[in-house]
Chain A
Amino acid sequence: MSGNASEAFSRAIREIARRIGGEKVLTDPEDLIPYSIDASKRFEGAPWAVVRVSSTEDVAAVLEVADRERIPVIPRGSASCLTGAVVAKRGGIVIDLLPMNRVEVHPEDMVVMAEAGATVQKVDEECRRHGLMFPPDPASSKVATVGGALAENAGGIRGAKYGVMKNWLLALEVVLPGGRVLRVGEPTLKWRWGPDLTGLFVGSEGWLGVITRAWFKVIPAPERVVRVVGVFPDMESAGRAAADIRASGILPLGLEIMNAETLRAVSRATGIDLPQEGAMLIADVDGPREAISRLAESVAECMRRAGGEVMLSDDPEEMERLYLARKMAYASLTRLYKAVEIEDITVPLSRFPEALRRIDELAKRYGLPLPTFGHAGDGNVHPTICYDPDDEEQVRKARRLAEEICDVAIELGGAVSGEHGIGIQKIEALRRELRARGAEHYLDLLREIKRILDPNNIMNPGNFGL
């Protein structure tokens, strides 16, 4: 911090403490360092202060003062993001939204209101009490907050059928720099005063304003779920089975795929007995009691046709066991390798088998372990680069491999990030994707929009390279 900036910061932090209460403001280095990371393991940056807000008014006070004093502000939930999106790249104030975690279900309206700091799992749990379900379920839903999941437009296992956060959003409360509280949309199943600006904040990764509350539509929880698991000779045939299932007119709740490298890693790390070659596909089918076995059997048939050996179950314990391989995938890799970087590309469904084949070729060419798993139902796959961070050659290879994986997505007409976001990690990849689509000016447009809402560029500067 320069002398002037340092003075402005002290002035700002004193005023914030006076207005919202000193106990909500942390400035000890021993409190700030824990706020310097996210789950990327690559990017770090300690803020100058952390403000633990408990109301929209608190957020407004912080944004009013910070905007006046030109201090960067980084909104933060559980910091489980994988791209460096919430690290304080240029210092500033981290707004910790975890204390804002209320959830209100309105079962007769089929709507749930959640504050930004509530976890996605808590929202779903509250809905379940009323026989309802909140469909988005990122793998990190235990920790991922509503604010963070919206700012990253997170997806999840059930994304195959139910899509991502934006598909369920009705209305938002956002605090803008300067402290203005903006309300977009209505908590009704329909409304239209367009254009729909809720979408402006979805996926914005904290560089336009601070999401404080959101209203979502919810649906009745499925009556029955059956899990169908197929083991295939290779990834491509598993990918074909996935495409065949989709083409047969069945929309599985989730459709998860894993390659042999992943299966072997889970076996090695956990001792679970799994096939060591080929690939695995896990399909969850939901539906009414009367129809469920017919639907499950159709899915099983698609798998058999593609050369799969099939097991199915609706017993919760057996279902859990069948799912263990997928659930333990990331954990197993972190136990086996010193550095694990999870990629997140997405391609059109029809190109999914080809994407899998090309990822496989890349793995062979680079000679680095590349366990690959993901959501075959929506074309989103996570090739996970494992390497030794102390070996310079491997680090270089890993970076280059990450670029090539993104290029596969770009060439096949897909996107460099399906659900994890851009942050710092994917800035270059996003630029390449935009260039390939002849849309380089997209980032300029974003800059202009940002200038309108955040003229002093205090909101999470550095994300997206903005």
Chain B
Amino acid sequence: MFLAFIDTAPAMIPPEVELTRGGLARGGDPLGLGPRVRSAWAEGLDLPSRGELLFYAGDFYPVMGYAELLLRLTRSPLSTRRLASLGGALMKLGLLPAALRIAGRGANSRYQVSLRKAVDSLTKLGVRPAILREEEPSFGAVLHTYGLLDEFSEHARRVWERFREAGVRTIVTPDPVAALFFRKHYPEFVDGWDIDAVTWVELVAERVASEGVRLGPVSRWAMRVTYHDPCVQSRIMGMVEQPRFLISEIPGVELVEPPRRGVNTGCSGDGGLELVQPEIARRLARARGEELKNTGAELALTSCPACLLTLRSSGVEMFFGDLIDMVHDALLSAKRGEPREVRWAGARRPLRLTKPKGLSVEGLTSTLAEFASRCVRCGFCNPTCSTAQVLDGLESRSARGRVTLIRAMVEGRDLRPGEVLDRLYTCVLCGACELACPAGLPVPDMIIYGRALAIKLGLVEREELGVGGGGRR
């Protein structure tokens, strides 16, 4: 069945995207590793398998070590594209997941440990969530990110059913991307979606304050740390103070800030880029890694599995760790104090939804045309654009350039959808442009819908030309 699913894929989608899409279809996660590998982190945990509060591990944490291995392979003489093409074939045969399962186990254990510590921290704070183990569905990040919106929309509905069967009302997740999806993209794509989502950092910070927990010292950790704000957590969801609150609560730990922080954080090269544009992703990761190292801290903490992956693979000689691990250690030696009322600026901020007017060519065109017509072309977004920064402001791979391309596409200008998609795929969806836009355009959403439209126009074009499957233009 999944083979049929893969074979209907539009041929203009690059093999790297095809690989993760095949993985999702085959094993339920981007690498196709399967529910057993994915749920290995939860082995032996005594937690219910249904309940109103669900701990959701997400698509990345449970398999990130395997992705690290794959990323290392792409730096071998095999180019990413060749590897991906090969990987696609291997994926179909189920050989790639098998090989990864064997070779990547060691690298994966630290991500698994973080997940267990995340759950254990919650129980120590009096929160006992349910976990779905092998039944935990992927949130479909790769489908949405790469613009495969029909599939995402269908997938999201199935996920909702799964959650409803398990009686879930609120999701807590250590993965900020998953939280963003459940707070923004699921309400955009699933009518009636009524499940709330919080990040682990958000909930733990709230509980530490409200329960009057005094975090203890963490002797085996560095005393001088810096923090890398994941764009999704800080800029898009507005959580800047919560991780800093947690770090500042740990006695003896000093926080030194990098120049780009909070809502103005710098990208470490994820956002799906490491797969489709590895060169640019690597330059971003390296630049961000160096910036964190130059703070003089001994350790850089963050709260996003994708950021951890890219920073750890950046080649910068520094320890990159998960905030979960440090906070968990601090909870082990914590004492009880007076409850505190702390208010954070971005706490549980409602997110702006951008529902497309349908997913057909017409629906996407009309949604995009309206946004694109409001672009004032000032270019204030460009200097904040993560990819433009490492490409000397190359307009066609910067925020305003992509919006201009999208407008040209919806105006029916003579463009090759595959080439448009290539430019749109360079965006990391970091949201810096949206913050800088005087007209307040939801640029990352436009990019996603633009990708979807380019893919569809590519299909239309191929049908008109009477071209069958295979071959990328």
Contact = CB atoms under 8 A, between A and B. Distances in A.
B393 A78 contact: yes
Contacts of B404: 33-34, 36-37
A143 B436 CA distance: 11
Contact of B373 (A30, A50, A119, A338): A338
A188 interface: no
A338 B377 CA distance: 13
Interface string B397-439: 0101110110010000111100110110000000000000011
B72 interface: no
B379 to A, nearest CB: 5
Interface in B423-459: 423, 438-440
Nearest to A34: B401
B356 interface: no
B376 A30 contact: no
A34 B395 contact: yes
Contacts of B413: 33
B167 interface: no
B383 interface: yes
A29 B414 contact: yes
A360 B149 CA distance: 50
B394 interface: yes
Given A26-B396, A52-B394, A33 B440 contact: no
Given A30-B405, A331-B438, A143 B416 contact: no
| A30, A37, A96 — most chain B CB neighbours (10 Å) | A30
A142 interface: yes
B378 interface: yes
A37 B382 CA distance: 14
Say which size band chain A's interface belongs to.
20 to 34
Contacts of B378: 39, 80, 140, 143
B379 A39 contact: yes
Contacts of A33: 396, 404-405, 408, 413, 415
A142 B416 contact: no
A39 B415 CA distance: 23
Nearest to A145: B393
Contacts of B414: 29
B374 interface: yes
Nearest to B416: A30
A37 to B, nearest CB: 5
Interface string A72-115: 00000011100000000000000010110100000000000000
B393 A98 contact: yes
B396 A41 contact: no
A330 B378 CA distance: 11
A403 B420 CA distance: 39
Contacts of A119: 383
B426 to A, nearest CB: 12
Nearest to B402: A34
B376 A334 contact: yes
A147 to B, nearest CB: 13
B245 interface: no
A31 interface: yes
A28 B419 contact: yes
A435 interface: no
B415 A30 contact: yes
| B376, B413, B420 — most chain A CB neighbours (10 Å) | B376
B43 interface: no
B181 interface: no
A35 B395 contact: yes
B419 A143 contact: no
B399 to A, nearest CB: 10
B371 interface: no
Given A29-B414, A39-B379, 9 more contacts: A26-B396, A30-B423, A34-B404, A37-B377, A38-B377, A39-B377, A140-B379, A143-B379, A331-B440
9 contacts: A29-B416, A30-B405, A30-B422, A34-B405, A98-B393, A101-B392, A142-B380, A143-B378, A330-B438
Interface of A: 26, 28-31, 33-41, 50, 52, 78-80, 96, 98-99, 101, 117, 119, 140, 142-143, 330-331, 334-335, 338, 340
Interface of B: 373-374, 376-380, 382-383, 392-396, 398, 400-402, 404-405, 408, 413-416, 419-420, 422-423, 438-440
* Leading 6 A-B pairs by shortest Cβ distance: A331-B438, A34-B401, A98-B393, A99-B392, A30-B419, A31-B396
